[in-house]
A = this chain, B = another copy of it.
Amino acid sequence: MNTLKNKKISNFFNALSHPVRVEIVTELLKGTKCVSDIKELIAINQPNVSQHLSILKAKNIVDWQQEGKRKCYFLKKPKLIKNILNALQKL
């Protein structure tokens, strides 16, 4: 049994095991977005957006770049995410 690989894989699933994070990732599939964009798109408060983003960052799903005052988040592996979410559309 490949424990390390299974931990990595379960960790990936864990990153996306919350509906808000699925929604954030779905939005990021359309392109880079800053925190306040995401806050508007999803009706949750700003600290909560930041918390979910930091989970996605810690689990290596997203990264960000500074753009002026803003922090713009993007998917590190958009093709992977897109393929997996597409596969799950039929659920």
A interface residue numbers (CB < 8 A to B): 1, 3, 5-10, 12-19, 21-23, 26, 41-42, 80, 83-85, 87-91
**A12 with B80: CB separation less than 8 A:** no
- Given A19-B3, A23-B1: A9 in contact with B88 (beta carbons within 8 A): yes
- Given A1-B41, A80-B87, A91-B8: A22 in contact with B26 (beta carbons within 8 A): no
- Given A84-B84, A87-B83: A22 in contact with B41 (beta carbons within 8 A): no
Residues of B within 8 A of A21 (CB): 10
Query: Which residue of the partner chain B has the closest CB to A91?
Result: B8
A82–chain B nearest beta-carbon distance, Å: 10
